[in-house]
Amino acid sequence: MEIGRILGIVSGLTAMLISIFLEGGQVIAYMNLSAFIIIAGGCFGAVLLAVGGDEIKRAPRLFMVAMSAGNDPDPKMLIKILMDLTNIVRKEGYKGLESKLKSIKDPFLRSGIKLVVDGMSEDAISELMEYEIQNISKRHKSGAEVFNMLGGYAPTMGIIGTVLGLVNMLMHMGELGSEGLGHAVAVAFIATLYGILFANSIFLPLGSALKMKSDKELAYKKAIVKAILLLHAGENPRVLEDKVKSILGIK
């Protein structure tokens, strides 16, 4: 996992704990199982209703993707591979690329090179690869949307939990007394606290992390498409390198 994102979660929770201690509160007073259940169960039910079971099943894996480190594409490695492939084309023609296919680990790049080897036209290569990028973009967007939905529903579920707590308090007001009444009101508002905390410290940041990773990956894949088309056109290796570096923002 990426240490920065772990520190982000820890720092947020630590700041809240420090605030509690500075105000003379006790952490145990903020622990409420019923509030947690309504947030977790309500958010799960709402997202399940909105997107269905298949997207929910992907949530744990997407969480790991958002928290992971080392999965970002390597632009410099792409440049090196492209330079090697360009030199092969200049010496052996497109068929010379066939022997290099197995050594290319990136499946998207490998599929593009295979289209060149198969003699596909420039328009056909562009259309097929852009279509794949669109499908990837849709999958990424739907994954990030799950966490954004959770971030949207959590505060609302927290308010619902607070309303339920207040209704329960009013129904037993005569039995509580002044001290019990204050405690009941405080407990009722814990649900709102949970909803806001989970939304802004976990769900929404995870959705943003997935979007950032998606943007990087899609930009990388678009650079691959451009490079494949330049390779197909027989572009000079140095020109190809400069153009791909410009697309990827490499100096």
What is the C-alpha separation between 217 and 220, in angstroms, rounded?
5
For the residues 45-56, what does the mean pLDDT come to?
87
Using pLDDT thresholds of 50, 70 and 90, give the confidence band for residue 2: low
d(CA 77, CA 184): 60
Cβ contacts of residue 13 below 8 Å, gap of 6+? 201
Element (H, E) at 96: none
CA 192 vs. chain centroid, Å, equals 25
Report percent pLDDT > 70 for the chain.
94
**Per-domain boundaries in the chain:** 32-251
CA angle 205, 193, 7 (to 5 degrees): 35
pLDDT score for 147:
93
Question: Residues 115, 131: contact at Cβ < 8 Å?
Answer: no
**What's the pTM value of the predicted model, to 2 decimals?**
0.79
Give per-residue pLDDT as tens, 176-232.
666 667 777 878 899 999 999 999 988 999 999 899 888 888 988 988 998 888 888
Highest mean pLDDT among 11-20, 63-72, 128-137: 128-137
Displacement of CA 37 from its chain's centroid (Å): 25
- State the pLDDT at residue 40: 92
C-alpha dihedral over 50, 53, 54, 58, to 10 degrees?
90
- Model confidence at 70: pLDDT above 70: no
- Which pair of structure tokens corresponds to residue 133? 């990028």
Evaluate if residue 154 carries a pLDDT over 90. Answer: yes
More confident residue, 157 or 87: 157
Other C-beta atoms within 10 Å of 230: how many?
A: 19
Which pLDDT belongs to residue 77? 80
Tell me: pLDDT of 115 over 80.
yes
The yes-or-no verdict on residue 233 having pLDDT over 70 is yes
Task: Determine the average pLDDT of the residues in 65-86.
Answer: 77
* Residue 243 to residue 231: CA distance in whole angstroms: 12
